[in-house]
Structure 1
Amino acid sequence: MARKYFGTDGIRGRANGVITPELALKVGQAAGLVFQRGDHRHRVVIGKDTRLSGYMIETALVAGFTSVGMDVLLLGPVPTPAVAMLTRSMRADIGVMISASHNAFEDNGIKLFGPDGFKLNDTIEHEIEELIDAELHTKLAGSADLGRAKRIESVHARYIEFAKRTLPRHVTLDGLRVVVDCANGAAYRVAPETLWELGAEVIAIGTEPDGFNINRDVGSTAPAALVAKVRERRADIGIALDGDADRVLIVDEKGHVVDGDQLMAVVARSWQEDERLTQPGLVATIMSNLGLERFLGGLGLTLARTAVGDRYVLEHMREHGYNLGGEQSGHIIMSDYTTTGDGLVAALQLLSVVQRQGRPVSEVCHCFDPLPQILKNVRYRAGEPLSQDSVVSAIAQARARLGNGGRLVIRPSGTEPVIRVMAEGDDRGLVNEVVDEVVEAVTKVAA
């Protein structure tokens, strides 16, 4: 079914453009009504990252939820996985994260979690969308039944303890020098404190949010600052989170960037050795490198692929009983611990392997040589560029040229007006050529 408001990861767009106070108010009312099940006092937890527009959206959401009789627990700036965890821990009916993840500060978004801490499925999102566009005056709470709002002060300590408990008690980070880049985002307090409490020597960057600098030249989408700091301080490892800390990239002691595919490979091999995998393999998206698939095959493990988006990875994991999955971009889902991607927890799992093996991060994280993979984005204004005959023809010709020696993936972004063109294969020159040909065809019709 076509969706009007929800994309692959909640509702996202320009603050005061797509994401207006009016929309946030209606989302609060609609989601509140959908999740008012049973005769108990209903509650919602709301967290946010560090964007300036978070204040505006938070206030509008509070008005929406309280107007339909839901109590609101305000968490302040916390990672997305903390919201998912606290939704369950605090027995809330729904959880909300105000964030546009890795996007610039001008954007914002609304992510919703059910009472089980999982992101909503398409059916529930459709139900909310219908209510957003409906007339709700008759469904509002009476004057005596309005909800209340309360700010929760112990959030950071709760999440830090949760993250630490994902490691065995005997595992410490003593002797490790760690640079952590918090992207001036939601984890600017909790990530450095967690690593320090576990014994690491911590150098923190991206920890001075001002409402405008989230993800600006820092974080997992801009790792150059972390690479430079790791080399400058001769650190053992660099950890880069994104704006809402649900994804992570690693920089090894040599200053080389390690993506989510390599991290999943490390964890999969470790968990296989410890007999912790609930299925003989893991779940990733169509964007994960073919090198990961070949590496897992060498271990007797499989790679199940899904559409792009951690929600689709998680849905496949839940349906088929996997406890490990993720995306090349660094969304790593470990369902033994979390119900969504958690950058800090994923980093801790990697660090536990590093400590146990006593080897440098560059060795631990080099599981396979990735195939040459090229990804280019084409921005478009409107319409459906991929349905144009010239683009369809260019895509078919590109796939024919790659044959069985590579893959071509073309898809519209679920969070912005961009067509993503990705190809990979054993022949880098051929991969470059087919990507450029498809990009040229899309560009001509996307203006």
Structure 2
Amino acid sequence: MGRVFGTDGVRGLANGDLTAELALELSVAAAHVLAERGEFAGHRPLAVVGRDTRISGEFLESAVVAGLLSAGVDVALLGVLPTPGVAHLTKTLGADLGVMISASHNPMPDNGIKFLARGGEKLDDAIEEAIEAHLHQEWERPTGAAVGRVRQHATAVDEYVAHLVRTTNKPLAGLRVVLDCAEGAASEAAPRALIGAGADVTAIHAQPDGLNINDNCGSTHLADLRAAVVKDGADVGFALDGDADRCLAVDAEGNVVDGDQILAILAGSLRDSGRLRADTVVATVMSNLGFVRAMRDAGVAVRQTKVGDRYVLEAMRAGGYNLGGEQSGHVIMSDHATTGDGILTALHLLERMATTGASIAELAGVMSRLPQVLVNVPGVDKTRTDDEVLGAAIAEAETELGDGGRVLLRASGTEPLVRVMVEALTEAHAREVADRLADVVRERLAL
């Protein structure tokens, strides 16, 4: 697999790249690294383990649990639960380690493993590098009573749903919602949470069978949600991904409300109530230029990071900020969660609608999106994006666009490809520049 950890844990083809053996070794290595850092000092260590609905999650869960138990770590099995639910229970149960088995929005054959530190926060790069360094090392195995024990934590969904509902302050009665659960980890928790807060909910793609997760549904396939919202006359629709750490929205006419618009709405809500810390929101370099301009006009500063919610989280912690997110729909509200939470996002968008009496379309109108074109270029060497000829082509494009647009070229952290993103005053101009740069990428970075 090359470097084991990507931008969001370990991810790959289940039983191909990500095997039971690797899952076991990773959990053992994670236990050893945390033990060496003194995380287990003075008490018997506890880990919580959750997963999404993929069939491969069953054997990977068994492997992770076996590794942890063999390293002397007790395990509480959470079952099928969203990533933010695992993070929440890592914190509330006082666990030393959280493990989520999911490949998020990836197709069903893939799977992944995410580790969470005590408190429910994602591991930083240094700890992940230490875990990689510990893979396959010889170690002294505990025996007898020193090995770990496993138990089922049967109330995981109940506890997570109750937490979500407690974050809202205004009843959502009268709001009609269509909720696409992506046949994933939130298929039970998400409808229960929105109904518990008072909304009238129609759930679609909420009958997971282990094979249908993200299959033409969820946050990467919005056609069914858009059609359902219009057909049902709903006020709004929300689409989650496989592990429910992201959320996109659809207005009453079926128009998409993306992560930038969602972040702008929530920033306005927190600012108006005096709860937006330092009047600052954290976003990534992929955020639309229209979002940055709208926040500036509203008196809200924007801190931009590398792509990946882990980097958004790092910047939020470093600056003491309480709102951040990505265009993809990862939104982090650190007053209530330690990671992106799609259900939480949906609840607080609904609360903003209930408080203001405005539609999601009216709220999203706070920003105007510049046309943005993203071209994925597969089959190239993504380690050579510093190529001089490619750099010159990018500089020429940036001069051409001027203040009316921008160029962003980056290697994907989770897939074998290079992404070319261009914003311009017109979609046609953005497309022409993006296609031109994609051709240079193919020529210069060919394998």
TM range (shorter): over 0.9
- Kept in 1, the 8 Å contact 2:382–2:417? The answer is no
- Kept in 2, the 8 Å contact 1:163–1:194? The answer is yes
Task: State the SS of the aligned residue for 2:335.
Answer: coil
Question: Does 1:122 pair with 2:121?
Answer: no
Q: How does 1:317-332 map to 2 (within 5 A)?
A: 317-332=316-331
2:102 maps to which residue?
99
Q: CA deviation at 1:365?
A: 2.2
Which runs of 5 or more structure 2 residues have no equivalent in the other structure?
Answer: none
- Kept in 2, the 8 Å contact 1:279–1:323? The answer is no
Q: How does 1:68-217 map to 2 (within 5 A)?
A: 68-136=71-139, 139-168=140-169, 171-217=170-216
- Kept in 2, the 8 Å contact 1:258–1:365? The answer is yes
Q: Which among 54, 59, 62 is matched to residue 56 of structure 1?
A: 59
Give me the identity figure in percent.
Answer: 48
Deviates more, 1:396-405 or 1:344-353: 396-405
- Kept in 1, the 8 Å contact 2:380–2:442? The answer is no
Letter in 1 for 2:430: V
Task: State the SS of the aligned residue for 1:112.
Answer: strand
Q: CA deviation at 1:35?
A: 2.1
Question: How far, CA to CA, are the matches of 1:96 and 1:381 in structure 2?
Answer: 32
Question: How far, CA to CA, are the matches of 2:164 and 2:3 in structure 1?
Answer: 36
Task: State the SS of the aligned residue for 2:433.
Answer: helix
Q: How does 1:226-375 map to 2 (within 5 A)?
A: 226-375=225-374
Task: State the SS of the aligned residue for 2:104.
Answer: coil
- Kept in 2, the 8 Å contact 1:385–1:442? The answer is no
Cα deviations across residues 263-298 of structure 1 (Å, max 9, x unaligned)? Answer: 111111111111001111200000001111111111
Q: CA deviation at 1:389?
A: 4.4
Task: State the SS of the aligned residue for 1:279.
Answer: helix
Letter in 1 for 2:410: R
- Kept in 2, the 8 Å contact 1:186–1:244? The answer is yes
Letter in 2 for 1:53: S
Letter in 2 for 1:158: E
Task: State the SS of the aligned residue for 1:304.
Answer: strand
Task: State the SS of the aligned residue for 1:18.
Answer: coil
- Kept in 2, the 8 Å contact 1:173–1:199? The answer is yes
Cα deviations across residues 151-185 of structure 1 (Å, max 9, x unaligned)? Answer: 111011001000001112xx111111110000000
2:41 maps to which residue?
38
Question: How far, CA to CA, are the matches of 1:232 and 1:296 in structure 2?
Answer: 34
Question: How far, CA to CA, are the matches of 1:384 and 1:65 in structure 2?
Answer: 34
- Kept in 1, the 8 Å contact 2:182–2:218? The answer is yes
Task: State the SS of the aligned residue for 1:384.
Answer: helix
Q: CA deviation at 1:398?
A: 2.0
Letter in 2 for 1:110: I
Question: How far, CA to CA, are the matches of 2:402 and 2:72 in structure 1?
Answer: 58
- Kept in 2, the 8 Å contact 1:379–1:446? The answer is no
Letter in 2 for 1:120: L
Question: How far, CA to CA, are the matches of 1:75 and 1:245 in structure 2?
Answer: 15
Question: How far, CA to CA, are the matches of 1:172 and 1:383 in structure 2?
Answer: 48
TM-score, length basis structure 2:
0.96
Cα deviations across residues 377-427 of structure 1 (Å, max 9, x unaligned)? Answer: 011265635244443333232223223321111111111101111011224
Question: How far, CA to CA, are the matches of 1:212 and 1:234 in structure 2?
Answer: 30
Letter in 1 for 2:323: L
Letter in 2 for 1:405: G
CA RMSD, 1 decimal: 1.4
Question: How far, CA to CA, are the matches of 2:381 and 2:368 in structure 1?
Answer: 38
Which runs of 5 or more structure 1 residues have no equivalent in the other structure?
Answer: none
Task: State the SS of the aligned residue for 1:446.
Answer: coil
Task: State the SS of the aligned residue for 1:160.
Answer: helix
Cα deviations across residues 224-281 of structure 1 (Å, max 9, x unaligned)? Answer: 1100100111111101000000000001111111001111111111111110011112
- Kept in 2, the 8 Å contact 1:44–1:73? The answer is yes
Cα–Cα, structure 1 residues 306 and 51, in superposed 2: closer, same or farther, change >3 Å?
same
Q: How does 1:413-424 map to 2 (within 5 A)?
A: 413-424=412-423
Deviates more, 1:362-371 or 1:187-196: 362-371
How many residue pairs get matched?
Answer: 441
Letter in 2 for 1:26: E
Question: How far, CA to CA, are the matches of 2:239 and 2:209 in structure 1?
Answer: 19
Letter in 1 for 2:118: P
Question: How far, CA to CA, are the matches of 2:380 and 2:60 in structure 1?
Answer: 26
Cα–Cα, structure 1 residues 144 and 381, in superposed 2: closer, same or farther, change >3 Å?
farther
Deviates more, 1:30-39 or 1:6-15: 30-39
- Kept in 2, the 8 Å contact 1:260–1:327? The answer is yes
Task: State the SS of the aligned residue for 2:111.
Answer: strand
Task: State the SS of the aligned residue for 2:114.
Answer: strand
Letter in 2 for 1:128: I
TM-score, length basis structure 1:
0.96
- Kept in 1, the 8 Å contact 2:382–2:416? The answer is no
Question: How far, CA to CA, are the matches of 1:410 and 1:383 in structure 2?
Answer: 10
Deviates more, 1:82-91 or 1:124-133: 124-133
Deviates more, 1:381-390 or 1:334-343: 381-390
1:435 maps to which residue?
434
